[in-house]
Amino acid sequence: MTISRGREAAVAGAETRTGIIIIGSGFGGLGMAIRLRQEGRDDFLILERAGDVGGTWRDNTYPGAACDVQSHLYSFSFALNPEWSHSFSRQPEIQAYLRRTAEEYEILPRVRFHHEVTSAEWDEAAGHWRVRAAGRDFAAPVLVMAAGALSDPMIPAIPGLDAFRGRAFHSSQWDHAYDLAGKRVAVIGTGASAIQFVPAIQPVVGRLHLFQRTPPWIIPRHDRPLGRAGQALFRRVPAAQKAVRAGIYLAREAFVFGFRNPRAMAVAQRTALRHLRRSVPDPVLRAKLTPDFTMGCKRVLLSNDYLPALTRPNVEVVTDAIAEIRARSIITRDRVEREVDAIILGTGFRPTDPPLAPVTRGREGRTLAEAWKGSPQAHLGTTVAGFPNLFILLGPNTGLGHTSVVYMIEAQLEHVIRALRHMRETGVAALEPRPEAQAAFVAEVDRRMRGTVWTHGGCASWYLDETGRNSTLWPDFTWRFRRRLSRFDPSEYRMTTMDGRMPR
Ligand code: NAP
């Protein structure tokens, strides 16, 4: 089996210098570039490992891929799109929106495609980051990491997976050349990706064995095509689209009450159980699909067609754990062997173990991975003590389970812009959070996390890192995050000028 983990090219060359290096060209990297342009800066470069912009929306092309947050909210506030065709847009439309936005803001000439970053080191003497990508060297005083929290696939350590002789691939690396028609297909995982592609492939495949470890909570998805009249109105009256956006924002924010008071999730759970009863008449199958943890502990999923697809005669929901994979089959712990032609891994990503962490070295020569010791931490989810002029978009504790992460990215972008302005205005060459400021923020996050559905929901989720801490999610209303990041407080940072002095 071959599962690619990224692309690399080795071309020797001289060091390229710029003002700001941005890693990644998804929502985060493009948003940063656009905000820099709006600030009148074009001394930046984006290093992108793939051949196009779009990040997760470029990579996740699996059948049925769509956003489970309404597009009027899941888009840049500074690049509203009146033309969305559905409330919940499909992947090609989101990818096209990102590409178009990059073109409109003339970002593409600043992107170095097929440049996978292999190391980033702070050079204290020179006062800049040295970044290596595709065998080339780049240097800049400021490094913005926008490589995405959900960019590298999690390939499960199931014995024998490497020895499988059929076709195997991860949902984020979909093999469109492989014809699934009539095939015996195993799907491993029942998360946000699987519930979208399972109903899309079920009518095509011969047999579908769905290996489920944990049944997710699923609520109906109220998707509808957005008519021409609405699009025309939004084109002519942007305020109308902003009002719709605000309405969606407020409705989704209501989930936070439940996340912070797990017992209040009972109302939404009743909706989900009604949805399950209506979709799955067979009580035995329904029992298999009934979650035993509090809703919200794992991401709440939205789908109208996943549960009905599981009732079709060519689908089997397997709840026995996988013991091993052989050349042409999967064997479960109860020793049942199922022959399959293909395995599709819907097993998610590695957000608490970001691939750049072991290769990013700060002021004292330590890597981010060494500083974090398995539990990522950052001041305001954005800057890290010991790592000067490093800004991480969608860094630790900035993820969400209920609404648009683009909102969080935009809050971070404003913070980075404020920090950069401060540096320019005061002659600061390098800044990083004071360890005590970072520790206070992390303590505040941990305090807000207490008693929430993520720590008291009775599930093991990928939100938790190897130390058991939730270092992934923001545990409160998102407007609180935005308000917290809306000011740049110099007293929270250690700053130096060009000659190593403290600034005036
Ligand atoms: P995921 O939510 O992490 O789900 C992974 C699935 O694989 C889970 O069901 C997990 O079971 C299962 N799994 C993992 N390792 C396994 C193993 N060794 N054996 C058996 N089962 C295993 O991954 P995802 O579905 O790709 O979604 C990841 C995230 O991407 C989402 O939470 C969401 O943030 C984002 N996403 C968003 C959208 C959107 O519409 N905006 C769409 C897709 C994805 P357990 O539950 O037991 O761990």
**For residue range 32-88, what is the model confidence (pLDDT) as tens digits?**
999 999 999 999 999 999 999 999 999 999 999 999 999 999 999 999 999 999 999
Is pLDDT at 442 greater than 80 in this prediction?
A: yes
Report pLDDT for 337. 98
Q: Of 67-76, 260-269, 327-336, which range is least confident?
A: 260-269
Looking at the domain assignment, is residue 281 inside a domain? yes
Report pLDDT for 10. 38
Our answer on whether the CB atom of 191 is closer than 6 Å to any ligand 1 atom is yes
> What's the pLDDT band for 151 if we cut at 50, 70, 90?
confident
Residue nearest to ligand 1 atom 37, measured at CA: 192
Report pLDDT for 104. 97
Report pLDDT for 387. 98
Close Cβ partners of 51 (under 8 Å, ≥ 6 residues apart): 113, 114
Q: Are residues 272 and 188 in the same domain?
A: yes
Looking at the domain assignment, is residue 75 inside a domain? no
Specify the ligand 1 atom closest to the Cα of 194: 25
Report pLDDT for 3. 43
Is pLDDT at 352 greater than 90 in this prediction?
A: no
Residue nearest to ligand 1 atom 10, measured at CA: 189
pLDDT digits 0-9 by tens, 453-476: 998 889 989 999 999 999 999 999
Q: What is the mean pLDDT of residues 373-391?
A: 98
Q: Are residues 212 and 178 in the same domain?
A: yes
Burial (CB < 10 A; 0-12, 13-18, 19+), residue 71, is: buried
Report pLDDT for 497. 87
Question: Which of 61, 347, 352, 404 has most ligand 1 atoms within 8 Å of CB, for mutation?
Answer: 347
Cα(404) to ligand 1 centroid in Å equals 18
Task: Choose the final residue of a domain: 320, 345, 370.
Answer: 345
Close Cβ partners of 67 (under 8 Å, ≥ 6 residues apart): 74, 88, 89, 91, 94
CA 199, CA 203: separation in Å to the nearest integer? 7
Looking at the domain assignment, is residue 274 inside a domain? yes
Residue nearest to ligand 1 atom 17, measured at CA: 156
Looking at the domain assignment, is residue 295 inside a domain? yes
Is pLDDT at 7 greater than 50 in this prediction?
A: no
Total structural domains in the chain?
2
Q: Single out the residue of 440, 445, 439 nearest to residue 470, CA to CA.
A: 445
Q: Read off the tokens for 307.
A: 């549960």
Our answer on whether the CB atom of 351 is closer than 6 Å to any ligand 1 atom is no
Report pLDDT for 500. 65
Q: Read off the tokens for 142.
A: 């400021």
Q: Of 33-37, 189-193, 261-265, which range is least confident?
A: 261-265
Our answer on whether the CB atom of 452 is closer than 6 Å to any ligand 1 atom is no
Our answer on whether the CB atom of 68 is closer than 6 Å to any ligand 1 atom is yes
Is pLDDT at 211 greater than 80 in this prediction?
A: yes
CA 453, CA 446: separation in Å to the nearest integer? 13
Report pLDDT for 13. 58
Our answer on whether the CB atom of 170 is closer than 6 Å to any ligand 1 atom is no
Q: What is the mean pLDDT of the chain?
A: 95
Our answer on whether the CB atom of 402 is closer than 6 Å to any ligand 1 atom is no
Q: What is the mean pLDDT of residues 96-125?
A: 98
Q: Read off the tokens for 103.
A: 């073109």
Our answer on whether the CB atom of 195 is closer than 6 Å to any ligand 1 atom is no
> What's the pLDDT band for 1 if we cut at 50, 70, 90?
very low
Question: Which of 193, 198, 324, 352 has most ligand 1 atoms within 8 Å of CB, for mutation?
Answer: 193
Looking at the domain assignment, is residue 190 inside a domain? yes
Q: Are residues 447 and 420 in the same domain?
A: yes
Q: Are residues 309 and 327 in the same domain?
A: yes
> What's the pLDDT band for 389 if we cut at 50, 70, 90?
very high
Specify the ligand 1 atom closest to the Cα of 60: 43
Is pLDDT at 258 greater than 50 in this prediction?
A: yes
> What's the pLDDT band for 8 if we cut at 50, 70, 90?
very low
Q: Are residues 119 and 168 in the same domain?
A: no
Is pLDDT at 365 greater than 80 in this prediction?
A: yes
Task: Choose the final residue of a domain: 345, 371, 404.
Answer: 345
Report pLDDT for 498. 72
Q: What is the mean pLDDT of residues 425-440?
A: 97
Q: Are residues 395 and 449 in the same domain?
A: yes
Q: Are residues 282 and 412 in the same domain?
A: no
Cα(459) to ligand 1 centroid in Å equals 13
For 368, the 3-state DSSP assignment is helix
For 34, the 3-state DSSP assignment is helix
Our answer on whether the CB atom of 134 is closer than 6 Å to any ligand 1 atom is no
Specify the ligand 1 atom closest to the Cα of 302: 40
Q: Single out the residue of 90, 163, 107, 499 nearest to residue 328, CA to CA.
A: 163
Our answer on whether the CB atom of 472 is closer than 6 Å to any ligand 1 atom is no
Q: Are residues 354 and 338 in the same domain?
A: no
Close Cβ partners of 423 (under 8 Å, ≥ 6 residues apart): 429, 431
Q: Are residues 203 and 337 in the same domain?
A: yes
Q: Single out the residue of 49, 63, 21 nearest to residue 148, CA to CA.
A: 49
Is pLDDT at 376 greater than 80 in this prediction?
A: yes
Our answer on whether the CB atom of 188 is closer than 6 Å to any ligand 1 atom is yes
Q: Are residues 448 and 390 in the same domain?
A: yes
pLDDT digits 0-9 by tens, 119-130: 999 999 999 999
Residue 436: domain span? 2-53+107-152+350-497
Report pLDDT for 150. 86
Q: Are residues 424 and 481 in the same domain?
A: yes
Q: What is the mean pLDDT of residues 305-331?
A: 98
Report pLDDT for 4. 39
- What is the CATH classification number for the domain harbouring 118? 3.50.50.60
Q: Are residues 357 and 332 in the same domain?
A: no
The residues pairing with 45 across neighbouring beta strands, listed in sequence order, are 21
Looking at the domain assignment, is residue 479 inside a domain? yes
- For helices 228-236 and 238-253, the axis angle rounded to 10 degrees is 110
Looking at the domain assignment, is residue 94 inside a domain? no
Q: Read off the tokens for 258.
A: 């439940």
Task: Choose the final residue of a domain: 345, 380, 397.
Answer: 345
Is pLDDT at 5 greater than 70 in this prediction?
A: no
Q: What is the mean pLDDT of residues 383-402?
A: 97
DSSP state of 388: T
Looking at the domain assignment, is residue 404 inside a domain? yes
